[in-house]
């Protein structure tokens, strides 16, 4: 059995029970929605209102947000940690895992749940919050921000700052920090990233920096590295510069057939490695940088390989050693897309 209600501590400060009653009264609160764990204290708060001669608010108690396993979601024990997620995305997932709405609907922003909420639709069942769904909710809200021109300009500024912070000392060409370039990246990657900072993760570094591939890395893939590296310029010379992407891909697939003891996978892997150290960037490069720019590839690797360079090379170093190879770089717009910052 519970004893008398303590409303003042020995130091003269009020307990929560008295403090919340006084605050609610002076703030003019008339409807009070709170978690169901406070249901057992409601009678005490009603008695305090009565003792003070105040009209109590109308109370409603909501089911709690719980972890997926049904345990209590605690702010103190690090159950969930959210970083750089917009408030709209957090509000959206909470309203979708709870009740009070006619139907679940992803993508709601604050005005919508306010008008759609109906207290009579609140259920008694606790809501299970799955943090693994947060990225998908955030992806949707990020796309909504991108679709708004004003919001997109703000995202561009944030992405420029993130890129400067992540790759500032590694940028060979600071034109990749231009607003137009950052905007093209946002438009291209909006359906693939969950947070804006994902665009500057190590997996997306190809969007900001040029690759540097060492001779040893290429030699580890195939002993025929020199032959493979010289193959693409030969295609250009024989075609008169009229290669289409389909024609080029077809010719590249024939290459392993002329190299005894070289697997098709190794031949293609080497050409991709020369083109960029991240294979996933190939479809993105040309979309982001446009076809006017060119990519690094086996054509650029050729002069470095011919002269037996053993260390790592960069596009500008390789091109400078043998200018005639640079004329063939346009072939690699079809193969690899573009490398940021290449003139």
159 plus 96 within the same structural domain: no
Give me the pLDDT at residue 334, please.
35
33 plus 81 within the same structural domain: no
175 plus 188 within the same structural domain: yes
- Domain presence at residue 142: no
CB atoms near residue 312 (< 10 Å): 14
283-324: pLDDT as tens digits: 454 455 443 333 333 333 333 333 333 344 344 444 443 333
Tens-digit pLDDT string for the chain (343 aa)? 467 889 999 999 999 999 999 999 999 999 999 999 999 999 999 999 999 999 999 999 999 988 888 888 776 655 556 666 778 888 999 888 888 998 888 999 888 999 999 999 998 888 888 888 888 999 999 999 999 999 999 999 999 999 999 998 888 888 889 999 999 999 988 988 999 999 999 888 888 887 666 667 666 666 667 776 666 666 666 666 566 767 777 777 777 676 666 776 776 666 655 554 433 444 454 455 443 333 333 333 333 333 333 344 344 444 443 333 333 333 333 333 344 433 3
Total residues belonging to the chain? 343
104, 135, 166: which is the final residue of a domain? 135
57 plus 72 within the same structural domain: no
Q: Which two tokens stand for residue 56?
A: 């109590």
105 plus 198 within the same structural domain: no
180, 207, 234: which is the final residue of a domain? 207
220 plus 331 within the same structural domain: yes
In angstroms, the CA 114 to CA 134 distance is 21
- Domain presence at residue 258: yes
- Domain presence at residue 170: yes
The closest alpha carbon to 317, from 301, 297, 299, belongs to: 301
96, 114, 135: which is the final residue of a domain? 135
- Domain presence at residue 220: yes
Give me the pLDDT at residue 86, please.
79
C-alpha dihedral (303, 305, 307, 310), degrees to nearest 10: 130
- Domain presence at residue 342: no
DSSP 60-97: EEEPPEE-TTS-B--TTTTS----S--HHHHHHHHHHH
- Domain presence at residue 89: yes
- Backbone phi and psi for residue 58, each to the nearest 5 degrees, phi listed first: -85, 125
Confirm if 204 and 195 have CB atoms less than 8 A apart: no
Give me the pLDDT at residue 115, please.
92
- Domain presence at residue 2: no
Total domains present in the chain: 4
Give me the pLDDT at residue 244, please.
72
Confirm if 271 and 251 have CB atoms less than 8 A apart: no
Confirm if 17 and 45 have CB atoms less than 8 A apart: yes
221 plus 323 within the same structural domain: yes
202 plus 222 within the same structural domain: no
224 plus 245 within the same structural domain: yes
Give me the pLDDT at residue 53, please.
97
152 plus 252 within the same structural domain: no
- Helices 264-275 and 298-306 pack at an angle, to 10 degrees, of 90
- Domain presence at residue 8: no
Q: Which two tokens stand for residue 100?
A: 């009070």
Q: Are strands 58-62 and 65-66 parallel, antiparallel or unpaired?
A: unpaired
295 plus 317 within the same structural domain: yes
User: Which CATH number do you get for residue 122?
Assistant: 1.10.1160.10
In angstroms, the CA 127 to CA 96 distance is 9
In angstroms, the CA 293 to CA 268 distance is 23
220-251: pLDDT as tens digits: 666 667 776 666 666 666 666 566 767 777 77
94 lies in which domain range? 66-135
297 plus 241 within the same structural domain: yes
């Amino acid at each position: 059995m519970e004893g008398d209600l303590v409303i003042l501590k020995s130091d003269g400060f009020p307990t929560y029970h008295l403090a919340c009653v006084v605050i609610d009264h002076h703030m003019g609160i008339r409807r009070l929605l709170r978690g169901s764990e406070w249901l057992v204290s409601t009678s005490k708060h009603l008695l305090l209102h009565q003792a003070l001669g105040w009209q109590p608010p109308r109370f409603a108690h909501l089911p709690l947000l719980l972890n997926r396993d049904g345990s209590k979601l605690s702010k103190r024990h690090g159950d969930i940690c959210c970083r750089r997620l917009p408030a709209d995305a957090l509000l959206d997932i909470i309203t979708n895992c709870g009740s009070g709405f006619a139907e679940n609907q992803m993508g709601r922003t604050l005005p919508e749940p306010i008008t759609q909420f109906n207290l009579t639709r609140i259920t008694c069942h606790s809501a299970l919050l799955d943090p693994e769904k947060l990225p998908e909710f955030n992806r949707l809200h990020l796309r909504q921000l991108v679709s708004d021109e004003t919001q997109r300009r703000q995202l561009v500024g944030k992405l420029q700052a993130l890129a400067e912070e992540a790759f500032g000392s590694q940028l060979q060409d600071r034109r990749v920090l231009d607003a137009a370039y950052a905007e093209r990246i946002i438009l291209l990657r909006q359906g693939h990233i969950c947070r804006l900072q994902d665009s500057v993760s190590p997996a997306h570094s190809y969007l900001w920096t040029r690759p540097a591939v060492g001779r040893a890395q290429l030699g580890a893939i195939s002993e025929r590295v020199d032959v493979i590296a010289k193959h693409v310029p030969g295609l250009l010379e024989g075609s008169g510069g009229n290669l289409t992407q389909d024609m080029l891909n077809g010719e590249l697939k024939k290459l392993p057939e002329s190299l005894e003891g070289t697997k098709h996978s190794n031949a293609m892997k080497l050409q991709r490695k020369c083109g960029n150290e991240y294979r996933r960037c190939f479809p993105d490069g040309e979309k982001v940088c446009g076809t006017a720019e060119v990519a690094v590839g086996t054509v650029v690797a050729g002069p470095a390989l011919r002269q037996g360079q053993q260390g790592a090379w960069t596009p500008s170093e390789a091109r400078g050693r043998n200018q005639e190879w640079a004329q063939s770089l346009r072939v690699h717009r079809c193969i690899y897309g573009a490398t940021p910052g290449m003139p």
